[in-house]
Chain A
């Protein structure tokens, strides 16, 4: 593989990893606070739709982003209501949210745009465009580093940079702030937080809201950054992959980055090298298609030990039965 190809594969990795990363961090906040969330997929989808819909109606991608975040946060609110206030089953709530988003997005899209559950294609200001970082062009002549800067680091939409900046930010919030301390505590031992005089419910809602926010950005990135509009079911299972990455990362921000980059890389490689010809034997496309998933299992079983979730995860906090 020559250098340029490598860069292109890595470039593709970054794009594919970004929505995973945002969703993964979203899940991290929620699950660190003890609220399991398999509804990442649904929230992303909802956000993808509302961001594209509002961007297309107003022509402003920023309003679209806000709408996407709002849509995702409404679902977060439902999840919070079910799993925090009414102490329901978090898995069921997540499943329901995925269904709800899959149905509602198409239903509303059809009602608003009558384009078969799609939004119109976004033009101009309705999309996040690639940002060229300063000096990218001038530096691109510099060997090795120049192309890396110009091709790989520069030239993504703003949300990509936001996503990557979220990693240190998440780490900092979790491990350097009061809020983070309490958030982690509430996912490990809510009764400790409660008896320390801090509201378990408040913290968990905050975590769920952050989760909604990040899923909102992830969805908006899909529909208005990577693409120019919403297509039904366009998240295509990325929420589940993000969940896998989260477990893979053992609920830690920097590891989440590595896990998402790894998934992105595996996909990028698989997309680029279909039908590999190994001296007469052609590896069928299906093998390459399944390769990221096979490798994930291999890596998980081979190199990553047991993942222990936050201790209070998945359990509603019940004081009186």
Chain B
């Protein structure tokens, strides 16, 4: 059986851990298989969970979050017959042949929703709310800003972070205030990449009559007609695929990008009225170009810098 280890944010973070859970559930429903999962509580449990699951014979062991890569690197050699998957993390395949690293090109998905934001914006000012100031969140913000500027080079992108303690991921009240502050600075589309805090952002955007953009999972349904789109990161698909492959999982490094729909933007009945055919066409064109390599979206993590916005 496969096992799934969620990052500290917990199984139901309405975000990428939840996406992994959904993917695993879908896999279980479709195949009738079962999987084991655990929500971590502390840093030290990472390695513990890996070892306990490996010893108990679970295979593959799928993990979410970049923080799992280091523990996997130190455990993998002890269990050569077990396959480990690190979603968002990177483990050198040369050293650890039994590990699959799945990396998402979040900047590409963010780029597309940034374009949508710029097109939907009437004021020329759009904004971003991040949970904590960490590289991953900057990566989102950077891609987003690039997309915005691609459509409207004069647009203003306001990027704010919620806080510096773990509470930053669960403070919808602060998210809400940040959104209000951004609205008063002219923003009329806000992209939230902030876990539970993001709910406050989406809520306030809906209350105040501006558009919002969800993250990781499709969050369009939360406020139908008020969420412009969601930046999708198909952790669910990646999880389900890994589980389907089972013990025969191919290891190495897998980059999930726009090509192959590893990332993308959400279009469904909830936001059908918000995205005009024109907008969709423009975004699809950009998407094709990115896939074709004609447009390169800069990845913040590659050199810790961003051409479109400063942190």
Question: Interface residues, chain A, CB within 8 Å of chain B?
Answer: 4-5, 8, 12, 15-16, 19, 110, 115-118, 121, 222, 226-229, 231-234, 236-237, 267-268, 271-272, 274-275, 282, 284-286, 289-290
Contact = CB atoms under 8 A, between A and B. Distances in A.
Contact of B176 (A226, A267, A275): A226
Nearest to B130: A285
A286 B164 contact: yes
Contacts of B177: 12, 15-16, 267-268, 271
Interface string B153-164: 000000111011
Interface of B: 10-14, 18, 133, 159-161, 163-165, 167, 170-174, 176-178, 180-181, 184-185, 196, 199-200, 203, 222-223, 310-311
B310 A234 contact: no
B310 A282 contact: yes
B182 to A, nearest CB: 9
B186 to A, nearest CB: 11
Contacts of A8: 180-181, 184
Given A227-B176, A285-B161, A236 B18 contact: no
* From B173, B177, B181, B223, residue with most partner A Cβ within 10 Å: B173
Contacts of B161: 274, 285, 289
B180 A236 contact: no
Given A116-B13, A236-B174, A282-B310, A289 B196 contact: no
Contacts of A228: 203
Contacts of A289: 161, 163-164
B160 A116 contact: no
Given A118-B12, A228-B203, 6 more contacts: A8-B180, A8-B181, A12-B177, A116-B18, A117-B10, A234-B170
A285 B133 contact: yes
24 contacts: A12-B177, A19-B173, A121-B199, A121-B222, A226-B173, A226-B176, A227-B172, A229-B199, A231-B170, A233-B170, A234-B196, A236-B170, A236-B173, A271-B178, A272-B181, A274-B161, A275-B310, A275-B311, A284-B311, A285-B161, A285-B311, A286-B164, A289-B163, A290-B164
A222 B173 contact: yes
A275 B311 CA distance: 7
A286 B133 contact: yes
A115 B10 CA distance: 12
A140 to B, nearest CB: 16
* From A8, A228, A268, residue with most partner B Cβ within 10 Å: A228
B133 A231 contact: no
Contacts of A234: 170-173, 196
B184 to A, nearest CB: 4
Contacts of A121: 199, 203, 222-223
Contacts of A16: 173, 177
Contacts of B172: 227, 231, 234
A161 B124 CA distance: 36
* From B11, B12, B13, residue with most partner A Cβ within 10 Å: B12
Nearest to B159: A275
Contacts of B163: 289
A21 to B, nearest CB: 14
A-B pairs with lowest CB-CB distance, top 5: A116-B12, A236-B167, A236-B171, A272-B181, A231-B196
Nearest to A238: B173
Nearest to A274: B160
A71 B185 CA distance: 39
* From A16, A275, A284, residue with most partner B Cβ within 10 Å: A275
Nearest to B11: A116
Contact of B181 (A116, A118, A271): A271
A15 B177 CA distance: 9
Contacts of A15: 177
A22 to B, nearest CB: 14
Nearest to B169: A233
A296 B200 CA distance: 26
B164 A232 contact: no
A227 B170 CA distance: 12
A67 B72 CA distance: 46
A282 B159 CA distance: 14
Contact of B199 (A19, A231, A271, A285): A231
A150 to B, nearest CB: 15
A55 B62 CA distance: 38
A244 to B, nearest CB: 15
Contact of A237 (B11, B167, B184, B223): B167
Contacts of A19: 173
A4 B181 CA distance: 12
A229 B133 CA distance: 25
A272 B183 CA distance: 11
A8 to B, nearest CB: 4
A236 B162 CA distance: 11
A16 B171 CA distance: 12
B149 to A, nearest CB: 17
A40 B13 CA distance: 26
B235 to A, nearest CB: 15
A271 B174 contact: yes
Nearest to A109: B12
Nearest to B165: A237
* From B133, B167, B170, B177, residue with most partner A Cβ within 10 Å: B177
A15 to B, nearest CB: 7
* From A4, A8, A227, residue with most partner B Cβ within 10 Å: A227
Contacts of B167: 233, 236-237
